[in-house]
Homo-oligomer: A and B are copies of this chain.
Amino acid sequence: MVFEWFRRRSRQRKPAAVIGARAVVAHENRYDLGDLTPDTVSYLGQVAYFELAVFETLSRAVSESPDLSSKEGLSAVAGDALTKHHGVVAELRKLKVDPAIAMEPFAASIDRFKELTQGNDWLETLVSVYITGGFLDDFFQRIVGGLPRALAARVQALIEPDREAAIIVQQLQAAIDRQPAIASRLALFGRRLLGDALLLARNAIAGSGDKAHDEARMEPVFTDLIAAHSRRMDALGFTA
């Protein structure tokens, strides 16, 4: 259903949207996810490991930066991912949970996700971090409904998606301006990433046993996530 909606939507052209302007709505619990929200430790464990993976990908991009200005800019983005990771780890510690033990069950699938989505060069890596990092932060932020209220609010503030996205968008736009021919390859790569991101998100949900029913309940979340994804693609001048 999501994919039908997505194909339909992608045919329309929209004006470039402002990234990061989207209101935070998940903690108002407008999604009725009930038991689909993973338990607190599982939730925090996977967010912590995901942010660590984003940090690792960004660190590699820092090292591979073609110039000092990019290196410096991306190091700030890497720092933001690390802040998210450490913030979530601090929440686990408050609960007297060893972060390594909480992250462990999600390490293999997130490592595989990182491998699949890392891209073949520096620019693809930037597209990936921007598109999948934004998507998953957005996802994790929207499913906090089942967490204790105060924790949910702290985590939401912490993992705000696209906080440093402007730095990546600026790097990509400069590269495309210099070499317009790369845009279509990067756009194609950006579109491909959505499938992987959706899959990781889908696997993060605690299933009720009735898959079709779970998917129907997640539909409004995914609809919002894909709309935000399209805005990210628009910001690069890409058709989602």
| B79-A52 in contact (CB<8A) | no
Query: In the bound complex, how far is the Cα of B78 from the Cα of A85, in angstroms?
Result: 12
Q: Which of A33-68 contact B (CB under 8 A)?
A: 49, 52, 55-56, 59-60, 62-63, 67-68
* B69, B75, B100: the one within 8 Å of A67 (CB): B100
Alpha-carbon separation in the docked complex, A85 to B62 (Å): 13
Q: Is the CB of A56 within 8 A of B63?
A: yes
Residues of B within 8 A of A60 (CB): 59, 63
A89 at the interface (CB under 8 A from B): yes
State how many angstroms separate the Cβ of A87 from the closest Cβ of chain B: 11
Q: Are B76 and A79 in contact (CB under 8 A)?
A: no
A62 to B98, CA, bound (A): 18
Cross-chain contact A89 with B103 (CB below 8 angstroms)? no
Decide yes or no whether A107 CB sits under 8 A from chain B: yes
Chain B residues, CB < 8 A from A75: 52, 55, 82, 85-86
Instruction: Tell whether A99 is near chain B: CB-to-CB under 8 Å.
Output: yes
For residue A71, CB closer than 8 A to chain B, the reply is: yes
Residue of B nearest to A57 (CB): B63
A72: CB under 8 A from chain B? yes
How many whole Å from A103's CB to the nearest CB in chain B?
5
User: Cα distance A55–B76 when bound, in Å?
Assistant: 12
Q: Mark A99-130, 1 if CB is under 8 A from B, else 0.
A: 11001100100000000000000000000000
A114 to chain B, nearest CB (A): 10
Give the chain B neighbours of A79 by CB distance below 8 A: 79, 82-83, 86
Give the CA-CA distance A82 to B99 in the complex, in Å.
22
Among A52, A68, A100: residue with most chain B CB under 10 A: A68
| Interface residue ranges, A against B (CB under 8 Å) | 49, 52, 55-56, 59-60, 62-63, 67-69, 71-72, 75-76, 78-79, 82-83, 85-86, 89, 98-100, 103-104, 107
A sample of 18 inter-chain contacts (CB < 8 A) reads: A49-B68, A52-B71, A55-B59, A55-B75, A56-B59, A56-B63, A59-B59, A59-B60, A59-B62, A59-B78, A60-B63, A68-B99, A68-B104, A72-B99, A72-B100, A76-B86, A79-B82, A79-B86
